[in-house]
Structure 1
């Protein structure tokens, strides 16, 4: 989750930098409006997209992904399915995921607080509408605010302070009618919800501010075409700058925006040629897709990613051609290379384990777990495939939790430690080819030692013949000072 959030924020930052560098000063207001809304949404989807042409990774279905083992005392609840943590030998659920719980709790509290602020603002606007007189002008509901010169609109209602002069009211009504007709309140409400969900993301506020200014540019440009610009400038400058402090309403008088609005009104329309600046988005998005496709870190466990335009077949053909060239250049192959080619033939032939070379290379062939007919079985486990998988997971996790010595961890190492182990159960049921990746060499060696000491099991079977199966196992434990 943390990696996903970092990617979203990074992508949004890149989109905003591109906007500020190339687009912000152009008069393509409607295009810029679409850009800000579209890129803020696109940032959430890009991390999930994996392009097959770019992505080159090992298919996960060729390996059994066991649930993580959390080491500590007695098993206090059943193990769960792939991808979820398993409670082994004493670490309670609260202890094992305390950090995640704290982060989740903070996120929820933040959403509740910001949702409460949002609800307060909505209630404030409703009270203004209810407590002040209103009248319909050209089909628009206009509410007169007592003892103020504030001016803003929210959806189909315009709020005008009674202290505003009649001459200025005409300009303001024209301006706010543009906001209503252009449905600007929907844009700002979208970013208000965005801020509630992602309250910790500072860029959500930046996006909303950029869009708020764009709304004013759009309304100003339309009103300015209906009357002399000089008069409109004087109206903007001469009024006392006062407004309701509500982020999702379109305010007419905003001191921080007035100068920018007048500068933009005086600016000549951008040449159509400058619309080519939007093409800067193409290499930017493509670069993001390259990153997400080549990233080794998954966006989120349990979520699949889109795979567009996969070119795996042509890649295989290219690899085969290179292999043929290598063999031709060498002029011969060794006995080991010949066995590897026979194993490749077994895996790719329609006969599978019935291939004539299978008996010769059965120890070199790892059957994909997704298609194996009979999974390996831990001593004492029996029943259906699903029952044996569940029994094996529990038994294996209990064995590792009991025998893993966390005291081998070096001094000074604290927090949650993660070790990733890969091993194979061969045709004899033995655990072989154990490999591990850990934050410290001592933990790596201990993981290899414990997994290598697993008892001999009943080998997996395919079409009545014994086969080898690959496994991947995460081990987690927490070291407290």
Structure 2
């Protein structure tokens, strides 16, 4: 569950970061800074959820300890649900991940076949792939520049100069990085905004290298193309970007003092991250404070009073020992991880029944792991108030040791003798697996 919460926070920070870009930075002509911001924000979102609000950690007081004799019970096991909500969420995520990864690999394979099908022209800084199909527009990918015959014959110099900016500045790696994130976080539509914004910045960077902006702007307007666009490449012409590209070509350069807006954006993001971390820390501290106060009251009482191991009148679960057996039988679940890994054995627990009948100071003295220790302690924490033990007619604190035996069995026949034997010395939780063949 912690991992799911972390993933959720990463995606929420992406939304905040892209919103800051669209509202505060998109219209600047600091194209390189905008590129760095988009790349940095994608990475920064992984770190912000780990931000911890600075505060001294509270100290939880220790309860006075004494040894005590063991108390044993026997209990049956009720099988837990096959799939938890968390497992269902992970299953849905895995299905989406497989589909997204398949689509991504398919694009890579198709692009590889496409690059191999053309005529190769080696240049000093790049490789030109000349294709016969005029239905495909010119584009670049990493070090390859793909140009169709029509563009090669009529617009080769302008397109080559433009696409070489993409290859020299490795713009395709930015798109590949975002595409990988889209595979891993296929459920986040805001990554599409990151991709479109990044592609837009790439075109602005390439257009800025044109020697004559008037001639180049007229060339863009005259260039008509209705070809499909490959999602992993930097395409020379996209109808949806032509208006913004021409606007940016003629736009006056943004004043340098506007670089302060990047600091403002970082301040907003940092403040938000600290605010969120502070809210989480406040909630945690309130819960810890409530826990500390309740524990302190109990500990003060236990520290000032003697804890007995043998008393004249033992504490009693409401309804007696049989009722306690039934309670444990209903509540204890054999952990799925323990059953799958064939983990079995005894978990030794210790707790104190106070003078008011509360169960306090639950501890695992010796465990077997795989969730068994936590499950046993969880159920003991659910105990209702007991009838307190008495010594010389007065209620006293009594400490118990409770061994809980987690046991794997394949059939009822095999369970009979071993279960009865285990019940003599420990509360027994039995997991019934399939019959061996």
TM class, shorter-chain normalised?
A: 0.5 to 0.7
Q: CA deviation at 1:248?
A: 2.1
Distance 2:59 2:247 in 1: 56
Distance 1:244 1:52 in 2: 52
Q: 1:230 to 1:297 in 2, by over 3 A?
A: same
Contact 1:12 1:203 in 2 (8 A): yes
Contact 2:137 2:229 in 1 (8 A): no
RMSD of the alignment, in Å? Answer: 3.9
| Residues 118-129 of structure 1: pairs in structure 2 closer than 5 A | 118-129=104-115
Q: 1:13 to 1:139 in 2, by over 3 A?
A: closer
Q: Is residue 271 of structure 2 the alignment partner of residue 286 of structure 1?
A: yes
Report the secondary structure of 1:196's partner residue: helix
Match of 1:52 in 2: 54
Gaps (5+ residues) in structure 2? 64-74, 285-292, 310-323, 333-349, 362-378, 389-397, 403-437
Contact 1:233 1:262 in 2 (8 A): yes
Distance 1:59 1:206 in 2: 46
Report the secondary structure of 2:230's partner residue: coil
Distance 1:12 1:364 in 2: 51
Match of 2:127 in 1: 141
Distance 1:203 1:298 in 2: 29
Q: CA deviation at 1:133?
A: 0.9
Match of 1:322 in 2: none
Distance 2:231 2:60 in 1: 47
Q: Is residue 135 of structure 2 the alignment partner of residue 164 of structure 1?
A: no
Contact 1:151 1:160 in 2 (8 A): yes
Match of 1:450 in 2: 383
Report the secondary structure of 1:159's partner residue: strand
Report the secondary structure of 1:295's partner residue: helix
Report the secondary structure of 2:302's partner residue: coil
CA offsets 1:435-475 (integer angstroms, 9 cap, x no match): xxxxxxxxxxx998734349953489xxxxxxxxxxxxxxx
Report the secondary structure of 1:164's partner residue: helix
Q: 1:62 to 1:49 in 2, by over 3 A?
A: farther
Match of 1:177 in 2: 164
Contact 1:243 1:251 in 2 (8 A): no
Match of 2:80 in 1: 91
Match of 1:39 in 2: 41
Report the secondary structure of 1:363's partner residue: helix
Q: 1:247 to 1:231 in 2, by over 3 A?
A: same
Distance 1:262 1:244 in 2: 22
Contact 1:152 1:243 in 2 (8 A): no
Q: Which residue of 240, 248, 265 maps to 2:249?
A: 265
Q: 1:184 to 1:454 in 2, by over 3 A?
A: farther
Match of 1:441 in 2: none
| Residues 385-464 of structure 1: pairs in structure 2 closer than 5 A | 400-402=327-329, 425=352, 431-432=358-359, 450-453=383-386, 457-458=399-400
Question: What TM-score does the superposition give when structure 1 sets the normalisation length?
Answer: 0.58
Contact 1:404 1:447 in 2 (8 A): no
Q: CA deviation at 1:183?
A: 1.0
Contact 1:403 1:450 in 2 (8 A): no
Structure of greater Rg? 2
Contact 1:15 1:39 in 2 (8 A): yes
Greater displacement, 241-250 / 189-198: 241-250
Match of 1:237 in 2: 221
Contact 1:243 1:254 in 2 (8 A): no
Distance 2:24 2:93 in 1: 34
Contact 1:24 1:32 in 2 (8 A): yes
Q: 1:398 to 1:183 in 2, by over 3 A?
A: farther
Contact 2:353 2:386 in 1 (8 A): no
Match of 2:13 in 1: 11
Distance 1:60 1:18 in 2: 41
Q: CA deviation at 1:429?
A: 12
Q: 1:57 to 1:454 in 2, by over 3 A?
A: farther
Match of 1:22 in 2: 24
Q: CA deviation at 1:258?
A: 1.2
Distance 1:58 1:399 in 2: 38
Q: Which residue of 183, 187, 195 maps to 1:200?
A: 187
Match of 1:218 in 2: 205
